[in-house]
Amino acid sequence: MSSAQVPARKQQDLQATYSNYKNTLQQIAQKIGDIEQEAEEHKLVLETLEPLSGDRKCFRLINGVLVERTVQDVVPALKTNQEGLRKVLDDLVKQYKTKQDDLEKWKSGFNLIKTGSGPSSSSRPYEVPSLLTCMRETLTTHTNQEDPRISDNSPR
């Protein structure tokens, strides 16, 4: 193997490892967003139901089936679910921070630098874009894509 292929291979391995970290962080962040949204929905429902009398009818969707219950039956179940969501959310945030710290340790272990953060140096041969840069690119890509549900043919 020539000496030019070794650094290229190592750079590919570093990029693959970095991409793996980045994808894992993105997946955890997506899960955190989903759980936060679900917890907010639980909060809104509880705020709506709590002032009502306990014997009032309400409906709850359980595994795709709409079930008739009373407020006094549903509120404790919703509170239990909300507590469970908070615990899961706390665990996911801890997991995200741990993975982010692992990424920073990994980057510092290989003396990696952020792309575009100063002049290139031969003492720092491998550049990996920062997570923030990648997230901005992802957000820009997703926000600049046209939504097929929205058309410009609306009446003016």
Tokens 């030019």 belong to residue: 4
Identify the CATH assignment for 9-110 out of 1.10.357.10, 3.40.190.10, 2.40.70.10, 1.10.287.370.
1.10.287.370
> Greater confidence, 123 or 43?
43
Domain layout of the chain by residue ranges = 9-110
Residue 21 has pLDDT above 80, yes or no: yes
How many C-beta atoms lie closer than 10 Å to residue 75's C-beta? 18
List the structure tokens of 47.
Answer: 């705020």
List the structure tokens of 76.
Answer: 């404790």
Q: Which amino acid is at 105?
A: K
List the structure tokens of 45.
Answer: 């429902």
Q: How far apart are CA 33 and CA 14, in angstroms?
A: 29
What would the mean pLDDT of 31-50 be, rounded to a whole number?
96
CB 32 within 8 A of CB 94: no
Instruction: List, as one string, the DSSP characters of 13-40.
Output: HHHHHHHHHHHHHHHHHHHHHHHHHHHH
pLDDT, tens only, 51-101: 999 999 999 888 999 999 999 999 999 999 999 999 999 999 999 999 999
Whole-model pTM: value is 0.64
* Contacts (Cβ under 8 Å, ≥6 apart) of 103: 18, 21, 22, 25, 131
Residue 126 has pLDDT above 50, yes or no: no
